[in-house]
Amino acid sequence: MSDSVTQPTSGATTGPSTTSAAAPKLHLGALTALVVGSMIGGGIFSLPQNMAVSAGAGAVLIGWAITAVGMLTLAFVFQTLANRKPELDGGVYIYAKQGFGDYMGFSSAWGYWISAWLGNVGYFVLLFGTFGYFFPVFGEGNTPIAIACASVLLWGVHFLVLQGIKEAAFVNMVTTIAKVVPIVLFIVICIFAFNAHIFTNDFFGLSTPKLGSVANQVRGSMLVTVWVFIGIEGASIFSARAEKRTDVGKATVMGFVGVLLVLVLVNMLSLGIMSRPDLAGLQNPSMAGVLEHVVGHWGAILISVGLVISLLGALLSWVLLCAEIIFSAARDNTMPHFVRKENAKKVPANALWMTNGMTQAFLLITLFSKGTYLSLIYLATSMILLPYFWSAAYALLVAWRRETYEAEPAQRNKDMLIAAIAVVYAVWLLYAGGFKYVLLSALLYAPGALLFAKAKREAGQPVFTALEKAVFAAVVLGALVAAFGLYKGFLTL
């Protein structure tokens, strides 16, 4: 299979012209499936236990209300930017770069990329932990045989994607449809089994002192609610490959609304099937335990099979997204030239090798690390918060400057309000995640500057502006504190 290198663009933005005319195009259904497939992964199957650990039903409802508003504004942000800035391809990466400079753009792509492949590591652990329900040799997903099998699956997905983006997107659409079926069945069964008394008992979790106040419970549940929505930007990442530009925004909003409804139903119905302490004590995937409680052992088997299908589809979606985001950054010289290489099927081959190489390395690390699935998703979530913030901030900047709004003052005010809410929500998430994950994120952001410097030297440009030097210094300081904290033990994964 021959390789080709996409030629660099001369401008600071990436437009449709940078994607070859021979590159495959994705229709509305495929784009929506990428959004849904990215969001419905392993998180929903562990949602009942993950939420019950930190919050009572009342606090969970408040958390979902905040998440629904915040994530809806982010969905509208991606929709608005896709429609008003059609020349910008690459989603979270290009919005940060266009609004706030090259280093912010690079950091957004770098953080998103790390978040994506870290999430894939977590998915592999959960997948083979689920197999461990039937075959004890897989344990909790991090035994030697589990990691060996996960590695085989990883490279199987890798070579599937190398056959072409369009073909991989089709497989993703099929698995997305297949994995929704057991989830819908779970919801239907639980509607009939729902017990209002169980749901309202200790509604705000105040009889369990370790949960803390309602505000603390809401804060403690936020990273879980964000994790299950990561992928909302999936269509915007592939905007250059869309058949119609307007389909990007439609796919984002349609995917979000559908997934929100499913997630809230799964979470709240579970709280009416089993008490919060019982849910908190379930082994993941906890949806299996809930359905087994209602219908018997076959319910656990059904959910486990659904989880396997779901994780396989999500892995495919995220491998696609991982490679695409750094490939987009490389096309306009924000990543080094070698990341720009495509194969004969127009797949970003080097970006794919780089992504799955890191996934493989961290799979091996799980053999020796005490980090759990939940720790991996918390860290992955924290890495994506900054890209979300910059996207929302850029939408606010566009409206503030009246760019494309010259004849639409009313629409400008509406979009400015939505973007402002999205910015506040992104800041709130950074706070809710806790200072620990801010520091750990800095530790992962700092090394990326080496690739950024290489890209700048290849382009014959200074590495940092004066402001970017100050930002980088702050990142390095945070990374040093995190490294010291890990060494001394007051920070842990």
Neighbours of 411 (CB within 10 A): 14
Lowest mean pLDDT among 56-60, 304-308, 310-314, 380-384: 310-314
Q: What is the pLDDT of residue 9?
A: 34
Neighbours of 11 (CB within 10 A): 11
The per-residue DSSP string of 365-381 comes to HTTT----HHHHHHHHH
Lowest mean pLDDT among 27-41, 317-331, 345-359: 27-41
Residue 332, helix vs strand vs coil? coil
> Helical H runs in 349-465?
349-365, 373-400, 409-433, 435-445, 449-458
Percent of the chain with pLDDT strictly greater than 90? 25
Tell me the average pLDDT across 352-373. Answer: 81
Predicted model pTM: 0.78
CA-closest candidate to residue 307, choices 328, 326, 323, 286: 286
In order of 22, 254, 458, the CA distances from 225 in angstroms are: 39, 18, 41
Q: How far apart are the first and last CA of the chain?
A: 41
Q: Cβ(161)–Cβ(347) under 8 Å?
A: yes
In the structure encoding, which two tokens stand for residue 167, read together? 């073909």
pLDDT per residue as tens digits for the range 401-425: 998 888 888 889 999 999 999 999 9
Q: Which domains does the chain possess?
A: 24-434 (1.20.1740.10)
- E strands, 190-349, in order: 341-343
pLDDT per residue as tens digits for the range 181-225: 888 899 999 999 999 999 998 888 887 778 888 888 888 777 777
DSSP lists the bridge partners of residue 26 as 242
Q: What is the pLDDT of residue 437?
A: 82
